[in-house]
Amino acid sequence: MLEFRKDIFADERDDSLVEIGQPTARQDILGHVTGTSPYYDDHRFANLLHLKILRSPHAHARIRSIDDSVAARAPGVKRIIRAADVPVNLNTLLSLIQFGKDDEPSLASDVVRYKGEPILGIVATSERAALEALALVRVSYDQLPAVLDVEEAIKAGAPSVNATYPKNTFEYYGKYDHQKLRFGDVEAGFRQADIVIEDRYQMSPIEHAPTETNGSITVPDTNGRYIVYTSTQALFFSLDTAAKINAVQSNQLHFIGGTVGGGFGGKVDTLTEPLCILAARLTGAPVRYRLSRHEEMQFGSPRGAERIYVKDGLAKDGRIVARSVRAYFDSGAYTRLSSYAVVKCVAHIPGPYTIPNVHADVYCVFTNRTPATAMRGFGVTALDFALECQMDKGAVAVGMDPLEFRMLNMYRDGDMKAHRREAKNCALIECAQVAAEKANWPLRDEFRRMSSRQGGSHERAGVADRSRTPQLASAAKPAPSTPPSPVPQRVAYERPTPAAPTRTAPPSPPPRSAPPSPAASPAGSTHGAPRFSSVFGTRRR
C-alpha cells in the first residue's frame, strides 16, 4: 500500500499532488488483456519472406572462405546477403551522439570476434527453408586465440579483440583508456584510517530474456519508402542507426513500434532492423527477421559483467575516510553501450556517502564475449552491490548497526560530493528512518533525530567552503581526535554473530578531522566534456 509521508519536507513541496497516489489505468492495458495490442509480429503480409543469420561458432577466428553456392540453389531461397551487400558495414550505436568510433560490422567479413557473430544472411520463403539453406553454407575458419577475461585482456601481449581499439580498452575523448575520479588524497586517507577493508566483486552477464524476442518486419511502401514494424524500445535511435547502416535518409524509413514485449535494455541495440531493411530492399518483398529463443538467449546482448575492486578506509567511530574503486566492464567484442555504462559507474562512485578521499579507475574492456548492452541501471547496479556489501562489512568492522553506519555517512544538504557538486535536497536519511520504522528496526535516538538538513558541509568532505559559514561548527564540538593507527588494521569480513555486536559509543556527527585538501584538478579531468543525460542525448553542465 502506498503511503505518503507529507510531514517530511512539507515546506519544500507544493502539496497539490493530483495524479500521484490515485490509481490510473495504463493507456494500453485494454489491448493487453484482450490480446489485441499490436506487437511487431502481429502484422500480416502476403508473400512474407524470412531472414535467418549464419553465426560464428568460434569466439575468435579469421574467415578463410565462405561457400554459399549450394545454399543459393536450395528450395525457397530468394537471396543471400553477404558483408559486401551492407552499404555501411561498420557502426557503433552511440555514433549518433558522436561518442566512440565505429567498430562493429553488421556482417563479419574477415574476422569473427565472438561466438554468435553474424556472418551471412539468407532470405527465404519460410524460416524453415532459410534454416535448411544456412546448413548448406560452408565456412572455413582459422581459429585465433581468444581472450575472455577483462584483466587478461589488458595485459601486454593479450590478443587484440577489436581492430578499432587494439589495446582492448575503449578510448574516451580520443585519448584516455579509462575514466578516473580523484577527490582528496586517498593514500593519506588510508594512512589515517583505523581499519581497511578490501574486496573483489565479480558479476555475471545477465540476459534480459524478454518473452517477445527481438525482431522486425520491413515492408516496401507504395512510395519507395520502407515501413518497419519493430520490437525496438528506442524507436528513433533504431531508425537513425538503420538509416546509417543502409545509407539512406532517415525519412526513407517509417518505423512503427512502441508496443514492446519486454525490453529491459535488451531492445536498444537495433539487432534486427538494419539487415531486415536491407533484405527488403534487395528482394523488394516484405521480410521478417525474428530472433529465435536460442538466438535471444545466446547472442542477444546481455547486461555486461563487471569486476569491481573496492578498498575502504574507516575511522573507528564509523566514518569512511577513504574509498578506492578499480573496476573493469566487460564490453564483449564491440562497444555498444558499455562505454556509457562506465561513465554512469564513475558518476555513481562513491555511492550516496560523503567521503573526503575518493579514487576510482574504471575501464571499458573488450573481450571475445557477446557484446554487452543496457539493462536496468547498468553501470550502477553492480557497483551498488559491491559498495553495499562493503558497507555491511564496514559496519561489522566498526561494531555498528549496518543502517546506522550508513546513516552516519549519508549525504546531507551542503555536503561536497566527490564530483565537486554540492549535495542538495537530500532525503536518504529520512528514507532510512521511515524504512527502519516500517521494518521495526531499532535505531538509537540520535539516529532517529538525524536530519539530511543538519550537519552537512563542505568540510565534512574535507573541502574548505569559501562561500559560507559551516553550519556544523556551532552544532557540535569537534570530534575527539582519533589517533591514526600507525599500521592500518586489516580485518577479514565475518558474519555478525546472532548476539548483537557491542556498539561503540554513538559517534558525534562529524566535523571530520580535516584530511588533506583535494589535489588540484588532475590533468585529464573532463572539463567541458559532454555528460550524458540519457543514452540518447547529452547536456553540458
Task: Kindly give, in sequence order, each residue whose CB lies less than 8 Å from that of residue 524, ignoring residues fewer than 6 positions away.
Answer: 176, 180
Evaluate whether 423 touches 414 at the Cβ level (below 8 Å): yes
Interaction between residue 256 and other proteins (CB under 8 A): no
Cis peptide before 350 (omega within 30 of 0): yes
Q: Smallest distance from the beta carbon of 278 to other proteins, in angstroms?
A: 24
Interaction between residue 84 and other proteins (CB under 8 A): no
Interaction between residue 21 and other proteins (CB under 8 A): no
Interaction between residue 45 and other proteins (CB under 8 A): no
Q: Residues 184, 189, 263, 300: which binds other proteins (CB under 8 A)?
A: 263
Interaction between residue 46 and other proteins (CB under 8 A): no
State the Cα angle at 250 between 283 and 338, rounded to 5°: 100
Q: Smallest distance from the beta carbon of 231 to other proteins, in angstroms?
A: 10
- Complex with other proteins: residue 34 or 65, whichever CB lies closer: 34
Interaction between residue 295 and other proteins (CB under 8 A): no
- Complex with other proteins: residue 235 or 248, whichever CB lies closer: 235
Interaction between residue 62 and other proteins (CB under 8 A): no
Give the DSSP per-residue string, 444-485.
-HHHHS--TTSS--GGGGT---SSS--SHHHHSPPPPP-PPP
Closest CA to 467 of 478, 458, 476, 475: 458
Closest CA to 387 of 428, 439, 350: 350
Closest CA to 102 of 87, 115, 86, 89: 89
Interaction between residue 26 and other proteins (CB under 8 A): yes
Q: Smallest distance from the beta carbon of 16 to other proteins, in angstroms?
A: 24
Look up residue 34 and give its three cell numbers.
484482450
Interaction between residue 34 and other proteins (CB under 8 A): yes
Closest CA to 67 of 131, 143, 119, 123: 119
For residue 416, give the amino acid letter: M
Interaction between residue 8 and other proteins (CB under 8 A): no
Q: What is the dihedral of CA 2, 8, 13, 15, to 10 degrees?
A: 50
Interaction between residue 36 and other proteins (CB under 8 A): yes
- Complex with other proteins: residue 21 or 145, whichever CB lies closer: 21
Interaction between residue 67 and other proteins (CB under 8 A): no
Q: Smallest distance from the beta carbon of 287 to other proteins, in angstroms?
A: 16
- Complex with other proteins: residue 262 or 377, whichever CB lies closer: 262
Interaction between residue 261 and other proteins (CB under 8 A): yes
Interaction between residue 27 and other proteins (CB under 8 A): no
Closest CA to 507 of 483, 485, 476: 476
Residues that bind other proteins (CB under 8 A): 23, 25-26, 28-37, 39, 41-42, 44, 208-213, 259-264, 292-293
